[in-house]
Amino acid sequence: MAVRSRRGKLVGPYHIANVVGHRYNNDMPRPLSPARREIVLSDIQATQTLATSIALLALPGDVVALRGNLGSGKTTFARFFIAARGGAGEVPSPTFTLLQVYLLPAGEIWHFDLYRIENERDVLELGIDEAFRDAISLIEWPERLGSLLPNDRLDIALDFADRADARRALLTGQGSWVERVVALAI
Ligand SMILES: Nc1ncnc2c1ncn2[C@@H]1O[C@H](COP(=O)(O)OP(=O)(O)OP(=O)(O)O)[C@@H](O)[C@H]1O
Ligand SMILES: [Mg+2]
């Protein structure tokens, strides 16, 4: 249903909810705001626990953007994530190859390291559209994607903490990840 605002403009259901103060009902898509969690990773086992929990919540088509400086733990997180979904072999850093693909029984994982990418066209040549459609994408240096980075995603920003093997992880879930971040049992 669309109604006219006082200025005569057609407005959609979200505006109706705001203007007349109705609560959303179950027939309306909810514009969920991003969910945030900050988790202290006191050692590498804590990183493994977090990566495993998230790996078990992930589904084909999901995008996990791994942010943080050199050495903050993005590849380490990806290794634990891939292992938790049945990856039994080595997980080399895609620093030079840009992309490593894992064909696992639970679905494909495409692990990108876009540090060396210079423009968005080069990413498209890697087939990232196919990854977004069918696989789980783990993306180091997701900033390089610009507007190609899907909005429906989980961001994990890793940062150094007070001890050498401690990190802070700031999780931000958008779209289908909002409820999963809220429900994360960690
Ligand atoms: N709690 C922790 N979580 C993750 N990594 C840790 C932790 N404690 C120590 N480390 C160490 O920090 C290093 C992280 O390196 P890693 O290659 O994962 O970083 P990166 O963010 O992928 O860097 P780059 O931007 O160069 O790809 C590893 O040597 C890892 O063993
Ligand atoms: Mg790395």
Q: Are strands 63-67 and 154-160 parallel, antiparallel or unpaired?
A: parallel
Q: Measured between alpha carbons, how far is 108 from 92 in angstroms, rounded to an integer?
A: 16
Residue 147 has pLDDT above 80, yes or no: yes
Q: Are strands 107-113 and 167-173 parallel, antiparallel or unpaired?
A: unpaired
Of the pLDDT bands very low, low, confident and very high (cuts 50, 70, 90), residue 47 is: very high
In a mutational test of the pocket of ligand 1, which residue from 75, 81, 186 has the highest number of ligand atoms less than 8 Å from its CB?
75
Residues 6+ apart with CB under 8 A from 32: 175, 178, 179
Residue type present at position 67: R
Residue 145 has pLDDT above 80, yes or no: yes
pLDDT tens digits along 153-177 = 999 999 999 999 999 999 999 999 9
Of residues 20 and 88, the one with the higher pLDDT is: 88
Ligand nearest to the CA of 67: 1
CA 64 to the chain's CA centroid: 3
Q: Which pLDDT value is given to residue 74? A: 98
CA distances (Å), origin 168, targets 34, 41, 162: 19, 6, 10
Q: Which two tokens stand for residue 148?
A: 């190609």
pLDDT tens digits along 108-144 = 999 999 999 988 889 999 999 999 999 999 999 999 9
Of the pLDDT bands very low, low, confident and very high (cuts 50, 70, 90), residue 7 is: very low
Q: Measured between alpha carbons, how far is 30 from 11 in angstroms, rounded to an integer?
A: 16
Q: Which residue, by CA, sits nearest to atom 25 of ligand 1?
A: 70
Q: Which residue, by CA, sits nearest to atom 4 of ligand 1?
A: 73
Mean pLDDT calculated for residue range 11-37? 58
Q: Which pLDDT value is given to residue 185? A: 83
Q: Is 94 in the pocket of ligand 1 (CB under 6 A)?
A: no
144: number of Cβ within 10 Å: 20
* Ion ligand 2 contact residues with beta carbon within 5 A: 74-75, 93, 140
Q: Which pLDDT value is given to residue 25? A: 59
Specify the pTM.
Answer: 0.86
Q: Which pLDDT value is given to residue 30? A: 62
Q: Which atom of ligand 1 is nearest to the CA of 113?
A: 27
Please give the backbone phi and psi of residue 92, each rounded to the nearest 5 degrees, phi first.
-70, 150
Mean pLDDT calculated for residue range 63-86? 98
Instruction: List the one residue out of 60, 151, 158, 156 whose CA is nearest residue 109.
Output: 60
Q: Which pLDDT value is given to residue 131? A: 97
Domains defined for the chain, CATH in brackets: 1-31 (no CATH), 34-183 (3.40.50.300)
Q: Is 165 in the pocket of ligand 1 (CB under 6 A)?
A: yes
Q: Which pLDDT value is given to residue 32? A: 82
Q: Which atom of ligand 1 is nearest to the CA of 95?
A: 27
Q: Measured between alpha carbons, how far is 80 from 44 in angstroms, rounded to an integer?
A: 10
In a mutational test of the pocket of ligand 1, which residue from 64, 72, 81, 90 has the highest number of ligand atoms less than 8 Å from its CB?
72
